[in-house]
Structures are given as structure tokens and as C-alpha cells.
Amino acid sequence: MVSISSNNSDVRSKASTSYPKNSIDWLMRLIAFDTVSRHSNLALIKDVQAYCEHLGLTVDLTFNEAKNKANLFVTVPAGKNADIVNGGLVLSGHTDVVPVDGQAWTSEPFTATIRGSRLYGRGSCDMKGFIACALTLLPEAAQLSKSGQLRRPLHLALSFDEEVGCLGAPLILADLKARNITPDYCIVGEPTNMTMVVAHKGIAVYRCRVHGKSAHSSLTPQGVNAISYASRLVGFVDDLAEQLSQRDDNDGLFDVPYSTLSVGTIQGGTATNIVPNLCEFTFDYRNLPHMTQDDILLPIQAKVAELSAQMQTRAPETGIELQQQESVPAMTDDDNAELQHLIAALVEDDKRHKVAYATEGGQFTNAGIPTIICGPGSIEQAHKADEYVELSEIERCDGFLQRLLQSCR
């Protein structure tokens, strides 16, 4: 068993003088940074920044409003000309991880531990494994650039807050647009077992608040039952979900071939003998790339208006409000045929996969950058206790990125 502790001051104190030489060591170092989304990721970002500057590369950071989180973007320029930043390939990964609260880990989640053929730790597959492989590649890429052998730029983009709505990547993309940097392609290294994912669904999350009117339960005509009206709307959402599954334009290449709609949380009421004046529920919509949020939002808004009107005939102050909480665009495969051909050759597998989970890939494609999802590890291990990545997956990713780098020569 091999481990590295998140409390190990060596990880940070040697940032300017000592760096890992391989992807496993890099992954162990990255896991030691507790970058759960509710925390700052600046310690990790500053460590990677120092490493990149040690290699002679120029780093650009973009921050959130509170300045306690940052994205990192760095370019290994083509040839010997440091001004060549357009074109090339982006390797993209998010630095944040999901919480470990309430999970029964058999080892410390922020202490990377090797047991047998697996490396355990929060973020090991989602998605610090890919970042570790990309960082290991940088010295060779920088050397090829200095010797004039790098034909097109190689970029690395590290984001914050992917796990809570893909909040960081839009700042990277806005910064690239402002600096007139236009990459040719992007590879997002989410865990795919090193297979090629060419498209994914989008996500929209909504909160519905039903405002009724309280009354004693023996005098129900004097009240407006928020739970009862919420249940009608929940039933409508369920019926709409069933309609989505029966559409004739669904896509069989997705693991779930239709857009989905599901209620996730609900709460309301204070006591059995009180007509409830408030009920809240949330639902999420995961749309196929060719569909939009309006496909479900417009009928739901119409139902909200209908139910609100019924409520207000009994009490004008009642009604229903609908709020969007998250929105992550789908990733299409419309313009990435050339990239698919390249990646298929590099992973030595031409199978195209489409998935129901969302990534930052949709934001890159919306910015006009053809994108593929391909990275080490299995999505089935993500977000769980004892998250792990197979060591063989890291080795496969190293080989893939080596071949990718050679394609840039």
C-alpha cells in the first residue's frame, strides 16, 4: 500500500523545487488537495501554476467573483514562436470534486492509496487522473516547442465548480474569446474508460414553489392547499416525462435514448391539522442534443399558469413560481467528425458513445470548438465512497496523450 497525506506539508512546500515525474505521483499529489466544490481550489491551482512557470510556460488565471477559486489556462506554443496561440488542441479538466460527507470510506479520501491494481482517493477518476496525465505530458511538449518540433499549440485548461453547474468553464471561454485564441479541438478528460464519447445530454434544474393559504384542517374551504396543487403539477411533470420517452426522434446511441424529466426533492407542510401554505419541489431535465429546454418548459409554464389561476380564484395572494437553478448545455457531434477520426485512431477503437451525464464539453462546442470526451476510469466509480481508478487506465491515458502529442508534431 502506497499513500500520500493531504496534511503532508511536503506537497506544498516543495512546489517550486520538486515535481512528480510520472502520472501516478502527480495523481497522488493532486488528490492531497481537498478541492471539494464548497472549498477553494487555489492551493492546487497555484501549485500547477508554479509547475508550468518552472517549464517556462505563461499561465493565465480567471477567478470567480469572490476570488477564492480560479481557472488555469496555459499554452505550449507551436515551434519557437511564443506568440503562436491559435489553433491546436485543448486538454480540459475540472479541479473540483464532490463531497465525501456521509460516505463510508475504508481509507482517507484525500490520501491517495494504492491497493492492488487500483488507486483510491476522491477525484482519482473524476477527474484528477486525466489532469495528472496531462501535467506529466507538459515537459515533453515544452521541449518539443523549444526545439521547433511542435507543429501546433497544445493547451491545458483547468476549471473550478464543474460539479455544481459547470460554472468555471464559461469564464475560460470568455477569456479565450477576448484574447482571440481559437483552438481547433478540445478533449475533456472525464472518465470514459478511454473510449470516445461524441455527445452528451444537457441538464436543466428547476425549483417550483407553490404558495397556498393556511387554515385549520377542519376548515379546508378557507385555505388553499399548497401540497395538493404541487401534487397536480408533479403529476403533470410525470406525464410529460412519459411523453418524452415515446417521441419518434429519440436517439438509440444514448444509454437512455430519450430526454428525461424527473422530480428529485419535495417538502411542504407543518402539521396534519394545518392546510399547508407552502410546498417546494425540484426537478431536472436531461435533454438530447437536438432538443431544447423549451420543449418541456413551455408546457410546464402553461400548466403553472392554469393552476395559479385556479388557486387565485380562492385567494389572490396564492400562486406558483418556477425558478431555474442550473443549466448545462448538451454536447453535439455535429461538427466533430474530423476530431472523431483522429481520436478513434489514437484510442485504437472507432466506437462512438453517447451518454446521459453532462460535462463542460457542451460549453466548448457552443463556443465553436469541436469536442470529444475521453479519459481514464469509469463513471460508475465517480462520486462514490472508495472512488478509484485502475492503474492500467492511467497507463492507457499516458499512451493516448503521447500519441496525441506526436500528432501535433
Please list the active-site residues.
Answer: 96, 162
8 A C-beta contact, residue 357 and residue 197: no
| H-assigned helices in 181-274 | 226-245
Q: In what order do the strands lie in the sheet with 112-115?
A: 2-4, 112-115, 118-120, 388-390
The three cell numbers of residue 211 are: 404558495
The helix-helix angle for 128-146 and 23-31 (nearest 10°) equals: 130
| 27/128 Cα distance (integer angstroms) | 6
State the cell numbers at 379. Answer: 463513471
Query: Taking the CB of residue 278, how many other CB atoms lie within 10 A of it?
Result: 16
Task: Check if the beta carbon of residue 93 is closer than 8 Å to that of residue 84.
Answer: no
Question: What is the distance of C-alpha 261 from the center of its chain?
Answer: 19
Q: For residues 335 and 366, what is the distance between their CA atoms, to the nearest angstrom?
A: 11
Strand ranges, E, within 122-201: 154-159, 185-188, 196-200
Q: Is 199 helix (H, G, I), strand (E, B) or coil?
A: strand
Q: Are 165 and 328 in contact (CB under 8 A)?
A: yes
Tell me if 365 sits within 8 A of 373, measured CB to CB. no
